[in-house]
Amino acid sequence: MENQRGHAHVLVVTYPAQGHSNPLVQLAKRLTSKGVKTTLATTPYTVDSIRVNSAIAVEPISDGFDEGGFNQAPTLEAYLESFKTAGSKTLAELIMKFNNSATPVCCVVYDALLYWALGVAKEFGIPAAIMLTNSVTVCSFYWQINRGRLPLLVQQETLAAPMPGVPSLDVSDLPSFLAQPTNQSAYLSLILDKLGTFDENDWVFCNSFEELESELLEALKAQWPVATIGPTVPSFYLDRRIEGDTSYGASLRSHDNDQCLKWLDSKPLKSAVYVSFGSMACLSNDQLQEVAWGLKASNMPFLWVAKEFKDHRLLEFIDSIGEAGLIVTWCNQLEVLAHRAVGC
């Protein structure tokens, strides 16, 4: 991948959601630590949210909503279509800028939701790698539906083992996009439609490792040019090869991590429950109530990351818990999970 005018230069293109940005930012740090020039491309609205070492450049590509990002779009469908149009154009302009410099781009690594980045890379004759931020098992389900090997609407309660290394599963074990396909249908449609292009990439990077999904990975190598690069977490929590690498360096939401850690510091060893459903899951008020009152009935201290509470019954719950629990909109999950108090 080394270009003719200097060292290898990899352009890493991220989708502006926390669980998608984190693995790609971490990959960029790993590449940089190996002496590879690496540039991160993200939307103008999230550029300032990525704080990495000065060796990694952060460049904007437009999603068409430069002032407000995703929240500015009228619908998810409108956002994805706008990102495809504006993103393709500005990504091409960014590549052309580098091609006229001493360090032209020699490889594009892009998030799987940004499928159009593959076409841009091909226009310039640049090798491309798609990055799967999910587990390989989850991606294999989507791929088999794309190929017609599994139905989108599962009728039976138990699904026979669909791939080597994957046990028989209940419908409730499936990814939420498949168990409830009407939720976030725009994402599901995008994923299913574009999985057929996997084999057009030079590499399919998986956020996994051989020991975790070895049998399934071996089976998929006959279908995709698979390379495992996980787990994509900061070096401090793995091999400590990157000095000072204790956090992802991308925080798309504001959080008061000091408050979380101070609260956990006051709790006994392995006594606290940590609850988080991620940034994209949408729970109904009834589901939130079930979680809320279950936590209270457990009589265990709990830290709950929840985007918002609107139901008056949930607001009453918050008033009733006192010091037994802490509810925040976001936290530094790595530090919380590594804390001595978490894990009852």
Question: For 100-224, where are the alpha helices, taking DSSP H only?
Answer: 116-123, 136-146, 176-179, 185-194, 210-220
Looking at residue 27, what is its pLDDT?
96
Whole-structure pTM value: 0.85
Number of domains in the chain: 2
- Other Cβ atoms closer than 10 A to 262: 11
Is 269 part of any domain?
yes
The domain that holds 261 is classified in CATH as 3.40.50.2000
- Other Cβ atoms closer than 10 A to 322: 7
CB 116 within 8 A of CB 88: yes
Is 249 part of any domain?
no
Looking at residue 302, what is its pLDDT?
95
54 plus 169 within the same structural domain: yes
How many secondary structure helices (H) and strands (E) does the chain include? 11, 12
Question: For 34-175, where are the alpha helices, taking DSSP H only?
Answer: 76-99, 116-123, 136-146
Is 287 part of any domain?
yes
207 plus 312 within the same structural domain: no
Is 242 part of any domain?
no
131 plus 262 within the same structural domain: no
30 plus 128 within the same structural domain: yes
Copy the structure tokens of residue 224. Answer: 């995709």
Looking at residue 223, what is its pLDDT?
86
- Domain hosting residue 140, numbered range: 9-237
Query: Domain ends where: 174, 207, 237?
Result: 237
Is 308 part of any domain?
yes
How far is Cα 275 from Cα 134, in angstroms, rounded to an integer?
A: 19
176 plus 277 within the same structural domain: no
Looking at residue 86, what is its pLDDT?
98
301: closest CA among 336, 266, 333? 266
* Catalytic residue numbers, as ranges: 20, 111
Query: Domain ends where: 203, 237, 271?
Result: 237
Reduce the secondary structure of 41-78 to three states and give it as a string: EECCCCHHHECCCCCCEEEECCCCCCCCHHHHCCCHHH
186 plus 325 within the same structural domain: no
67 plus 163 within the same structural domain: yes
175 plus 302 within the same structural domain: no
Is 344 part of any domain?
no
Copy the structure tokens of residue 108. Answer: 């594009």
Q: Give average pLDDT by consecutive 10-residue segment, the chain, 344 residues.
A: 68 93 94 96 91 89 95 93 98 98 97 95 98 89 78 61 74 68 70 78 95 92 91 90 82 73 95 87 80 90 82 70 84 90 89
127 plus 271 within the same structural domain: no
